[in-house]
Amino acid sequence: MKLKYVNPIFKATVDVFKMMLDIDAKKADAYSAQDIANTTIHVVVDITGDLSGTISYAFPEKMPSDMVAIMCGMQMDAFDSFVESALMEMANIISGKAAVYLSADKYNCDISTPRLSLGRQMIDEQNSALVIPLSTPIGTMGITIMLKEAIIL
Amino acid sequence: MWKDMYRINVPIIDQQHQELFHRVSRFISALRSGGHNADKTGIVEDTLMFMAEYVVSHFHAEETWMREINYPDYIAHEAIHRSFVQEMQEFTERLRACGYDDAILQPFAGRLLAWLIYHVASEDQKIGAYSNGGRTCENEA
């Protein structure tokens, strides 16, 4: 997968985490089997246009509650509809920013409304998915990028 | 909820942002308090009325400031404001129609929280950077 469309997605995620949570997210060295096993909350965004496919943001169970707790300064005990909605909006913001960064590299893309998927998921390596593990002080998340360039006839 | 990093160093705008954050924080606190819906209705109605009036007045002040400094992204920023006001109106109508049902209120509050923080921490910071001498914005870079 080409770095030139992976980097804008990574940068958008890091930038939004810094802006909204004042958290420094860094690329982790590895996404361990334990990290994958802990990941049960997935937010998926469809991409269409010059690139097509999906970006999926994968979180361990407690991380979205901790993210929203940082935002509102209140303790969040569970992944409920309030936390879910704030998380979906944040995924929408990250994806929108990624689309802006991608357009600077001449990839014009549209993003769908994020959708939630709960439970453990297998990473589809046969479809050339690239997983970027992201380390933060409140947990390790993964960005799964599964994109291909549109074929111009 | 308010953090100093959200300041754009335009005093009138910063003051209005702090008031917005204060009201949204109070609103979320009430929603998360776990009481009966009837107990929350007062503060929900109060916040929705406040948002309808204060947000419009704040957006007007911010747009006046953007025009004063010839902010290059004025049109895009104003469109974001317009879209938010419309969404708030639609939500308010839905909430009133359903008697402030928690199933609609909680997701509304979550989205409002994330929207407000991002807008002030990102979009409005560009106005601050431009008005305080940086004179660049993302779309020009």
pLDDT along chain B (141 residues), means of 10: 93 94 91 73 83 90 95 95 91 86 90 94 94 62 37
Q: Nearest 5 degrees, angle CA A63-CA A65-CA A67? A: 70
* Whole-prediction pTM: 0.89
**Burial of residue B36, with CB atoms counted within 10 A of its CB: 0-12 exposed, 13-18 middle, 19 or more buried:** exposed
Please give, rounded to a whole number of angstroms, the shortest distance from the CA of A128 to a CA of chain B: 32
B101, B104, B105, B110 alpha-carbon torsion, rounded to 10°: 160
Can you tell me which residue has the tokens 């334990």? A34
Interface test with A, best of B118, B138, B139, B140 (most A CBs within 10 A): B118
Contact check, Cβ <8 Å, A68/B113: yes
Does B108 sit within 8 Å of A74, measured CB to CB? no
Say whether A20 and B106 touch across the interface (CB within 8 A). no
Indicate the residue of A19, A86, A87 with minimum beta-carbon distance to B121: A19
Name the residue in chain B with its Cα closest to that of A21.
B117
A36-88 pLDDT tens trace:
777 889 999 999 999 999 999 999 999 999 999 999 999 998 999 999 999 99
* Contacts B108 to A, Cβ<8 Å: 85
